[in-house]
Chains A and B, each alone.
Chain A
Amino acid sequence: MTTFFEPRQLVSPGTLLAEGNYQSGFNVYRDNGKYYASMVGLADIRNNVVSVIPLRGCYIPQPGDVVIGKVVECISTAWMLDIRSPYQGVLFASEFLSKPLNPLKEEARRYLDIGEMVVATVMAFDRTRNPSLTARDHGLGKIHRGTVIDVDFTRVPRIIGKKGSMITMLKKETGAQILVGQNGRVWISGKSRDEEAIIAEAIRKIEAEAHTSGLTDRVREFLVNRRR
């Protein structure tokens, strides 16, 4: 039972992390009783689980994730959504509309056209089929107003912050509605376009300085200065 890293040490693929009776978490693989990193990131161990917090990577859908998708294709009774992942999300009409959609009588495009944005949750995904989404829960559905920005997927936890500290601060300071999709898209709905632009700028700042400490206070300061 030995580990070969300091907590939060930068590791790259192939770095030997541990040997012995451990479990492999995210971005760690086991080979011959040894644990290696499979991604560039920060090594971490918690409850005997060795994992690597990724610094780069793409979004892989997980059931239950709230994502923001962009319609790229309308099929007779479903929409294909770009969710910034290698796999496009499928949103069936029955998971979006409250009534059945008869493709002989009306087109799916009437309800949701190409380029429109939808807040949805991932229902199921196993990589053999595209992730199926649902927008029928409370708070989900088509986005009618506001701004949607793309952010680096690995920065999503930072934008939310420890126990939601960052996002709570952003909402409190600005009074805007902000929704962070797990897939690296943020929806901002503020009082005006200018207000939304300032919040977007603040989020860009979080993204760029994700690794620095005391960021929440600096972002608050930034917002106060910009909105004066």
Chain B
Amino acid sequence: MSDSEIERLISEDGIRCDGRRLDEIRPIKFQLGVLKNTDGSAYVEWGRTKILVGVMGPRESHPKHLALSDKARVEAYYRMASFSVEEWKSPAPSRREVELSKVIREALEPAIFVEFFPRTSIDIFIEVLQADGSTRCASISAASLALVDAGIPMRDLVASIAVGKVEGKLVLDVQDKEDKAGESDMPMAYMPSKNAVTLLQMDGQITHDEFMQSMELLKKGCMEVYKKQKEAIESHFKGAVSNQEEA
């Protein structure tokens, strides 16, 4: 590659490399109840990112000494398939996967009524089939739908999205290419009806003003994801709405 041929990620008129505007999210498709042997499940296609989530529980906590006497133990297992990234990923759990498991668990736990099920455990299995940026955001959003499908009581759905800084501009919903080339990445998980942030991370460098702008952008993005989540729930359970006779 000649050094004069540097690819621009954002065009002069503010269009990104995949044709999106700066504050436009990728096409998102959620689906509930895709697995038979779990208590609840969800699948998401978030642009080119594809993630499958299965939830087991609340069930008896094993090993028993890890059970908590006052609440359910929530555990997330984030895993990337070897074929999920361009370079083959070693199937052994990496540092990044362990960290993301913890981060995702902590983003979801405030939404769950864990105190309803003392001494039990709720396990969330996240399988990233194809990764193209924002996998933690997609995982959190899909996992909260899988929790709904499992019938676990929750305060609100958790919607999540990331804002990045690319070529000096703030962009909503960063994809892999922008994440790698960009100056900063800031994912957030949010419970819209509670106006509560359950996850906020940032790497790279941004100014205070940019941070405040990012927060507005993140909230807007989360509301859009929230809408998609509600639509997915509605289309999955719509058959039940016409319920006429019940005991």
Contacts and interface: CB of A to CB of B under 8 A. Distances in A.
A58 B247 contact: no
A11 B247 CA distance: 20
Interface in A1-43: 8-10, 12-16, 27, 29, 31, 36, 38-40, 42
Please give me the 6 A-B residue pairs with the lowest Cβ-Cβ distance, nearest first: A14-B156, A57-B151, A56-B151, A157-B247, A213-B244, A13-B154
B245 interface: yes
A127 B118 CA distance: 7
A14 B247 contact: no
B156 A36 contact: yes
Given A40-B233, A56-B40, A86-B120, A13 B153 contact: yes
B117 interface: yes
B60 A86 contact: yes
Given A29-B153, A58-B58, A211-B243, 12 more contacts: A14-B192, A27-B153, A38-B154, A40-B233, A42-B241, A53-B246, A54-B151, A127-B117, A157-B247, A210-B243, A211-B240, A211-B242
Interface in B55-111: 57-60, 69, 111
A184 to B, nearest CB: 12
A212 interface: yes
B230 interface: yes
A16 B157 CA distance: 12
B194 A12 contact: no
B242 A212 contact: yes
B155 interface: yes
A57 B149 CA distance: 8
Interface string B113-136: 100111110000000000000000
A124 to B, nearest CB: 16
Nearest to A129: B119
Contacts of B163: none
A123 interface: no
B153 A14 contact: no
Nearest to A130: B119
B155 A36 contact: yes
Contacts of A162: 245-247
Interface of B: 39-40, 57-60, 69, 111, 113, 116-120, 148-151, 153-157, 191-194, 229-230, 233-234, 237-247
A215 B243 CA distance: 11
A169 interface: no
A29 B151 CA distance: 15
A143 interface: no
Interface of A: 8-10, 12-16, 27, 29, 31, 36, 38-40, 42, 53-58, 86-88, 127-128, 154, 157-158, 160-163, 210-213, 215
A154 B113 CA distance: 19
A40 B111 CA distance: 14
Contact of A42 (B111, B117, B193, B243): B243
Contacts of B247: 157-158, 160-163
Given A10-B238, A55-B240, A158-B247, A40 B155 contact: no
A12 B117 contact: no
Contact of A56 (B113, B150, B243): B150
A55 B233 CA distance: 11
14 contacts: A8-B243, A12-B233, A13-B155, A16-B193, A29-B155, A39-B153, A56-B150, A58-B151, A86-B117, A128-B118, A157-B246, A161-B245, A162-B246, A210-B243
A13 B245 CA distance: 24
Nearest to A159: B247
Contact of A86 (B57, B156, B192, B237): B57
Nearest to B149: A56
A213 B243 CA distance: 7
A26 to B, nearest CB: 10
